[in-house]
Amino acid sequence: MKNSTLVKGTAAIAVGAALLLGGGGTLANWNAEATAAPGTIVSGDLNVVKSVNGVWKDRAGTVIPDITAYKVVPGDKLTFTQDLTVTLVGNKMAANVATTGISATNGFTPANVAVSAPALTVGSTAVANPLKPTVTGADQTVTATITFEFLSTTTGRADTTASYNFNNVAFQLTQVTQPGLS
């Protein structure tokens, strides 16, 4: 008889304790944790720079050190080459290179000179836009070429001491969208 009372009392206490234990937040369900390291995202690059001044050459390919000191005559054909350093980095990078052209101050009779628009080449081949990054990501060189010809059809004493000021010739590198970009 005594035993059953003790047993009952104990059972009650145990049950109460069990109830208490079940009601609190200190006994959490299973949990585990892990750490992810997404890494570092690095952006690419896009730039076009005129690193060195362009070079003028005469018809024979001889360099003209100072164009302001060289005086042209009918029949002269001079070529200006300007190297542009193009930086393109990015897995989905692509860019068009173009020129806004020449807007010169021309003191010659228009019919006596022939000036070409800037022609863009990579190596010896014409630029095929869009340009893509090189395999190693290294810079590539785009060359702009302009020719100025004082035509041999000039007669009399036309355009002696005339001048043709090229002013600034601008070049633009513009990123273009690629598959995978929005």
Give dist(CA 136, CA 7) in Å, integer. 83
Give dist(CA 125, CA 3) in Å, integer. 106
Binding mask 101-120 for another protein (x = CB under 8 A): -------x------------
Tokens of 70: 């060289």
What is the smallest separation between the CB atom of 163 and another protein, expressed in angstroms? 4
Position 127 contacts another protein (CB under 8 A): no
Position 73 contacts another protein (CB under 8 A): yes
Residue of the chain from 12, 21, 50, 114 that contacts another protein (CB under 8 A) = 50
Position 133 contacts another protein (CB under 8 A): no
Position 17 contacts another protein (CB under 8 A): no
Q: What is the dihedral of CA 128, 132, 136, 138, to 10 degrees?
A: 80
The per-residue b/e assignment along 1-22, b for 16 or more CB within 10 angstroms, e otherwise, is eeeeeeeeeeeeeeeeeeeeee
What is the smallest separation between the CB atom of 138 and another protein, expressed in angstroms? 17
Shorter beta-carbon distance to another protein: residue 3 or 167: 167
